[in-house]
Amino acid sequence: MKVYIETYGCQMNVGDSEVVLAILRQVGYSRCEEISRADLILVNTCSIRENAEQRVFGRLDVFRQEKLRRKGVIVGVLGCMAERLKEKLLENKAVDLVAGPDSYRQLPKLIAAVRLEGKQIDTLLSHEETYADISPVRMDAEGVTAFISIMRGCNNVCSYCIVPYVRGAERSRDPQSILREARELIAAGYREITLLGQNVDSYCWKGTDGTQAPLSFAALLEQVALLDTSVRIRFATSHPKDMKDDVLYTMARHANICKHIHLPVQSGSDAQLLLMNRKYTRETYLERIAKIREILPGCAITTDIIVGFCEESEEDYEKTLSLVEEVGFDGAFMFQYSERPGTKASRTMPDNIAPEVKTARLNRLIELQNHNALQSNQACVGQTFEVLIEGTSKRSEAQLFGRTGTNKTCVFPAEGHHPGETVTVRVLSCTSATLISEIVK
């Protein structure tokens, strides 16, 4: 039996898809990359913005055509969208099963029940499920980089965010299972491991009986880094209210922990941050930035920003622009606010910024950030960097690409090198997104 799976959204969803493949492999499924060969078609979904969901509905139309062509094909919707919409998804003629993020162990039973009884659903959220005992089936074709989920769920309940409602409460994973998975990846030849969580800085393992001294994220990060000092370690995502100095000092002590921190700010306005329920201020965020640069000189900092959130005034927006200028982020994911049904904002706050205003504000922000990113990259021209080769460039098979420790993408001639190798490159020129480089002999 063959399973085809598409994944949308964040790195956590990629990790979840790998868990799903491992569960299905235990009952005889193998992964295929062509819909036309699949007995089972799965789409792992994202609900963070409306357009993410619309993309999935478009794909369901395609999957339905495949069902019409070949009898017996089963289509399933997994993940955040499954958890949010639940039974409503079963009204779609393409959909046979719906499974939320904590229901993946039930997939073999759900699939068998579909064949016997018709449409099935399981969207029960768990306070304990971490899939800690499952060794994921990796989807990185090159076998170079891999993700390890160290926790699930979120307790922050930012007013705009659907994640706590579709992924449940925060729970940390047994560190021994994390270290076991990391050892498996190292033994398999992976050269970079990224530790994942909605908020990695709040990772805290207290043992099954609660009698052990709590293990912090900084301590876990160090343990993973020490497994093999030739393997790069990254992590995402951090929260400004929870990132402590011990994480920064751990990064400074270990050369194989990449010097890049993704620290979402969302807004530069205290009024907006309060409405968003972010639990920090502009001042405390900038203090975190200053501490990062004090302890980790040269560390790259990237962020997330939302414009057009409820009640955002022109003054609020200008404060966001001024913060972006002050910090000089190396990169940013920038979005206009998209109201998600069920969130606190959707229940209690008006989505009262006109669409055309949101778009104009986003475009101006993107222009500013692209300028900052270009300046950051221009400062790299003429410098040399150690780069882990991750794959072949999409534009040319004669070119390879990889990332520096600060997460900057380099493209360079292959010259006989292959993914998984570490090379030294010299930066010749750049765009706002890419360092055009050559390998230093």
Give the CATH number, domain containing residue 365.
Answer: 3.30.750.200
Domain end, chosen from 346, 375, 404, is at: 375
* pLDDT at site 141: 75
pLDDT band at 24 (very low <50, low <70, confident <90, very high): very high
Residue 49 pLDDT more than 90? no
Average pLDDT over residues 57-63: 96
Residue 207 pLDDT more than 90? no
* pLDDT at site 210: 66
- 176 and 114 assigned to the same domain: no
Q: Is residue 131, in this structure, part of any structural domain at all?
A: no
Q: Is residue 129, in this structure, part of any structural domain at all?
A: no
- 166 and 189 assigned to the same domain: yes
- 36 and 70 assigned to the same domain: yes
* pLDDT at site 61: 96
- 253 and 144 assigned to the same domain: yes
Residue 97 pLDDT more than 80? yes
* pLDDT at site 271: 98
* pLDDT at site 35: 95
Q: What's the structural domain count of the chain?
A: 4
Residue 140 pLDDT more than 90? no
Residue 208 pLDDT more than 90? no
- 348 and 244 assigned to the same domain: no
Average pLDDT over residues 404-416: 97
Q: Is residue 274, in this structure, part of any structural domain at all?
A: yes
Structural domain range at position 330 = 264-375
Q: What's the CATH number where 388 sits?
A: 2.40.50.140
Residue 260 pLDDT more than 90? yes
- 294 and 334 assigned to the same domain: yes
Is 260 within 8 Å of 234 (Cβ atoms)?
Answer: yes
- 75 and 41 assigned to the same domain: yes
The Cα 83–Cα 123 span in angstroms is 6
Domain end, chosen from 375, 400, 419, is at: 375
* pLDDT at site 398: 94
- 207 and 289 assigned to the same domain: no
Q: Is residue 412, in this structure, part of any structural domain at all?
A: yes
Domain end, chosen from 240, 258, 276, is at: 258
Classify residue 128 by burial, with Cβ atoms within 10 Å: 0-12, 13-18, 19+. exposed
